[in-house]
Chain A
């Protein structure tokens, strides 16, 4: 089945540690996105990537980093510079520039700082 997979579902991080969230898609989508979800604030864009080896900052990129070495994969690293990392993280993918901007979301990773 085609889809977008995030792992792990739950992640615990100690203060000062970097952690990496995985996102893989087999939908042959060019574009991939990372969103952060906090209660009452909707979805905020962290980073996005239109093509392999290229990515752009979203609205809240500080304290995060990404890579796009393969079309199928767009991992997100939450660095120690992110002061309030506890949140629900959602990865999404979509076609690019084809008039259909529907985004397909993964099931999310809940990150908790302990």
Chain B
């Protein structure tokens, strides 16, 4: 089955710097890659997603890149702000008999003012 790895597990950056979180997946049939942000005591919320027919997607300060050959995808946050501090999860899924989403273990991002 699909396995998603995520690095680093914790990340601290100064406010205004960029943050990069990297994920790898094992199943080449995966074709949908969402990223979720989880604030303390809350449920995860989708922040950006990318499909396998696209190499890069941007939404203001957030961008995601996908390398299907290497089975890598990454989240880039530019001009980080304290409110970006949260746990970020990458995920991968396939459109097969059901939409099974496999999550990575998460990255705890701290943005230092």
Given that A101-B93, A101-B95, A102-B34 are contacting pairs, would A42 and B103 also be in contact in the complex, using a CB cutoff of 8 Å?
yes
- Which residues B23-74 have CB closer than 8 A to chain A? 32, 34, 36, 41-46, 49
Number of B interface residues at 8 Å Cβ cutoff, please give it.
24
| Bitwise interface map of A from 83 to 102 toward B, beta carbon under 8 Å scored 1, else 0 | 00000001010101101011
Write the chain B residue with the least CB distance to A38.
B105
A2 at interface, CB cutoff 8 A:
no
A101 vs B50: C-alpha distance in the bound complex, in angstroms?
A: 11
Write the chain B residue with the least CB distance to A110.
B41
A104 vs B104: C-alpha distance in the bound complex, in angstroms?
A: 17
A25 at interface, CB cutoff 8 A:
no
A7 at interface, CB cutoff 8 A:
no
- The reply to whether A31 and B43 contact each other, CB–CB distance below 8 Å, is no
- The reply to whether B43 and A108 contact each other, CB–CB distance below 8 Å, is yes
User: Which residues on B are within 8 Å of A, measured CB to CB?
Assistant: 4, 6, 9, 32, 34, 36, 41-46, 49, 89, 93, 95, 98-101, 103-106
